[in-house]
Amino acid sequence: MHIIKLDATDSTNSYLRKLSASETVDDYTAIITEKQTEGRGQMGTIWSSQSSKNLTFSVFKDMSEFQLEHPFYISIVTALAVLKTLQFSSISRLSIKWPNDILSANKKICGILIENVIKQNKINASIIGIGLNVNQTEFENLPKASSLKILSGKVYDLNELAIAILNNLKDCFSLLKDGKYDVLKAEYETRLFRKNKPSTFKDAEGLMFSGFIKGISDSGNLQILLEDNIIKSFDLKEVSLLY
């Protein structure tokens, strides 16, 4: 484990991607920054985070030795590693909102952005970006966001949290290396936000529909039980959960 600390960078994912393209980077090298000027979220969104208050970091994972059933397992491993870390931090009602947001009750406390480095049609490495809201207490215009401090009243040490996440990432990746797909998928599904609860979704055309989240397919698509009693799988571009 090798931690590189920066005062500021555009995005730790971009920094680590460039670094790993120009030199050999050890497994689990982490880039942690106080401030990101161009923090990126999923689906081209912006990730903003108050300087020095939160964890904004990226981890390099060598995937060349893995025989992955599907890339989504990298998301599963990462979400579970963050969740396991938070279980010991007085934060209650933790869940994973598909695909990989970490929530406490219905508030988002962590976002994950995984970018894979492909070589010869295979994932050679993953850049795992994690934005965890830790000690920030105001989220202007983000009513669905929260932080560990808001939820528990405590101030957390960013370094300790980063090390705990890295250790849990190692444990979860070793399960993946051993081919424990069923164990990882089952644990992920148990933690799914709104599982088996009547929920409302929006499809790619913006149309709303109702259903029940049942789990995920082997490729990580969301399985929803629809009103006609049929279970349909949706990918990230096809559906978003409204409530």
Residue 95 touching ligand BTN (CB under 6 A): no
The CB density around residue 39, as the number of other CB atoms within 10 Å, is 23
Nearer to ligand BTN, 46 or 186 (CB): 46
Residue 112 touching ligand BTN (CB under 6 A): yes
Nearer to ligand BTN, 202 or 214 (CB): 202
Residue 39 touching ligand BTN (CB under 6 A): yes
Burial 84-114 (b: 16+ CB within 10 A, else e): bbbeebebeebbbbbbbbbbbeebbbbbbbb
Residue 99 touching ligand BTN (CB under 6 A): no
**Per CB under 6 A, which region of 7-15, 64-72, 165-173, 234-242 contacts ligand BTN?**
7-15
User: DSSP letters along 25-57, please?
Assistant: --TTEEEEEEEESS-B-GGG-B----TTTSEEE
Determine which residue in the list 29, 56, 126, 136 makes contact with ligand BTN, applying CB under 6 A: 56
Determine which residue in the list 1, 19, 42, 214 makes contact with ligand BTN, applying CB under 6 A: 42
Q: Is 217 exposed, middle or buried (0-12, 13-18, 19+ CB in 10 A)?
A: middle
CA pair distance 17, 117, nearest whole angstrom: 8
The CB density around residue 164, as the number of other CB atoms within 10 Å, is 18
Least distance CB 131 / ligand BTN (angstroms): 3
- With H, G, I as helix, E, B as strand and everything else as coil, classify residue 78: helix
Residue 58 touching ligand BTN (CB under 6 A): yes
How many residues form the binding site for ligand BTN (CB under 6 A)?
20
Residues that bind ligand BTN (CB under 6 A): 11-13, 36, 39-42, 45, 47, 56-58, 101, 111-113, 129-131
